[in-house]
């Protein structure tokens, strides 16, 4: 059974909406990313309904999936964008996104990126260190503009998730320690080329409980009250993203549960004037995509059974990087008895695995779907072993569209040059 409602079996074949995945694999080959437009819209609707008439700005965390078709869909639905690089800014501008709904996060912003964002007129810079604050003030001053800033405060809250995607603890590289936040805000307020407008926080990813958010919120609200006493008045509170999805048996946190409890606490502290900014990524796109792959070979031994497929860690690095679980579905399940397989790719690394110890009935040539592959999948793909990155297809009901073709081999080295011959 799949974990994504828009990928279901019909007449014994796994479909994306109304399109059989076998048809897409035959037409475009594998590995192949397939997305559901309906799933994107349904995920967005859960946030829109949760916000209701309250002052909430949803900025899609586009590092999860930055395909222009995905970005354009969210733009048309009313989303802002959370960016972490000048390249991501360029993508948003390329689809006609509204710069006044862009928040610029990230710990290592370069001067050229700051200049580009200032020129575009982004809503806010989420500043992550005092050194960045000083640099931004200099760049804005040189440009003759005032930069709106929010400090990313590290509240030292455990998000109860994988250590690689936990970002709110003291030992993480992100943000300014909450103990130092007041002094840093005072410094920001003293710089004429900066305007303090917000408080920002992001504690991690794949969070399935409301508790960590509320723990962070209490610390941030206390900081906002102290800032007001110091004459620094905050317009918005950015709680970041991080709401998890169901990969196997998780019970995801509802956006409505989160926002209801956030606004309850705002009202209790007479802070209802604050705009709330959220930066969801995974929860908007994670279960809107699958990765199709073909079984090339089966290897059976007394120690392990391997299904060698044509997708690899360069296509989907999450399993070997995070020990992440993705459900594996046979697109046309067989009735024969199953065996326990490791699903592995052709890359020359022992870490090139996509799933371990899965009970599957397989034959060479079978088509598999790696589920929940809409987030942190293609965006983290590489060309390792000189492998072209997969094509991406968007399904819309009975129709489908190639939103990125497969890379031709020659493009992988077209920009490289040979050294001149020695004399």
Known catalytic residues are 348
Locus of tokens 């819209």: 41
> Cβ atoms within 10 A of the Cβ of 93, count?
14
Which of 142, 147, 145, 95 minimizes the C-alpha distance to 122?
Answer: 147
Between the CA of residue 78 and those of 44, 71, 98, 176, 240, what are the distances in Å?
A: 9, 11, 10, 30, 18
Closest Cα to residue 398, out of 36, 33, 3, 72?
A: 36
Q: How far apart are CA 50 and CA 44, in angstroms?
A: 10
How far is residue 327's CA from residue 4's CA, in Å, rounded to a whole number?
A: 10
Q: Is the peptide bond before 31 cis (omega within 30 degrees of 0)?
A: yes
Beta bridge partners of 200: 152, 238
Q: How far apart are CA 20 and CA 22, in angstroms?
A: 5
How far apart are the C-alpha atoms of 194 and 141, rounded to whole Å? 9
């Amino acid at each position: 059974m799949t974990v994504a409602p828009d990928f279901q079996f019909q007449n014994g074949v796994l479909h994306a909406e109304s399109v059989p995945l076998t048809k897409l694999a035959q037409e475009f080959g594998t590995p192949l990313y397939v997305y559901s437009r309906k799933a994107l819209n349904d995920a967005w609707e859960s946030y829109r309904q949760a916000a209701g008439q309250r002052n909430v700005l949803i900025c899609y965390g586009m590092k999860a999936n930055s395909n222009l078709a995905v970005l354009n869909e969210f733009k048309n639905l009313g989303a802002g964008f959370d960016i972490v690089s000048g390249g991501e800014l360029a993508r948003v501008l390329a689809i006609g996104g509204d710069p006044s709904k862009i928040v610029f996060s990230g710990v290592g912003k370069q001067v050229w990126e700051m200049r580009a964002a200032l020129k575009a007129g982004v809503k806010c810079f989420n500043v992550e260190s005092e050194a960045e604050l000083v640099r931004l003030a200099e760049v804005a001053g040189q440009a003759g503009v005032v930069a709106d800033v929010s400090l990313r405060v590290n509240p030292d809250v455990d998000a109860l998730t994988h250590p690689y995607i936990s970002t709110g603890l003291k030992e993480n590289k992100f943000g300014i320690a909450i103990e130092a936040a007041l002094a840093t805000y005072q410094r920001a307020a003293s710089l004429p080329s900066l305007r303090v407008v917000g408080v920002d926080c992001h504690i991690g990813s794949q969070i399935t409980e409301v508790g960590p958010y509320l723990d962070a919120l209490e610390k941030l609200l206390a900081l906002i009250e102290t800032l007001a006493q110091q004459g620094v008045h905050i317009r918005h509170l950015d709680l970041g993203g991080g709401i998890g999805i169901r990969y196997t048996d998780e019970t995801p946190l509802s956006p409505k549960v989160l926002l209801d409890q956030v606004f309850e606490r705002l009202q209790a502290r007479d802070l209802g004037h604050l705009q709330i900014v959220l930066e969801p990524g995974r929860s908007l796109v994670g279960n809107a995509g699958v990765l199709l792959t073909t079984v090339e070979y089966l290897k059976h031994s007394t120690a392990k059974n391997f299904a060698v497929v044509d997708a690899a860690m360069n296509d989907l690095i999450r399993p070997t990087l995070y020990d992440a679980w993705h459900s594996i579905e046979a697109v046309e399940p067989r009735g024969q008895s199953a065996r326990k397989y490791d699903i592995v790719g052709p890359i020359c690394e022992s870490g090139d695995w996509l799933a371990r110890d899965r009970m599957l009935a397989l034959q060479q040539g079978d088509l598999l779907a790696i589920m929940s592959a809409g987030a942190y999948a293609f965006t983290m793909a590489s060309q390792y072993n000189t492998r072209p990155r997969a094509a991406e297809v968007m399904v819309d009901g009975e129709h489908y569209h190639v939103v990125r073709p497969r890379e031709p081999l020659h493009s992988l080295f077209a920009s490289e040059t040979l050294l001149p011959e020695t004399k």
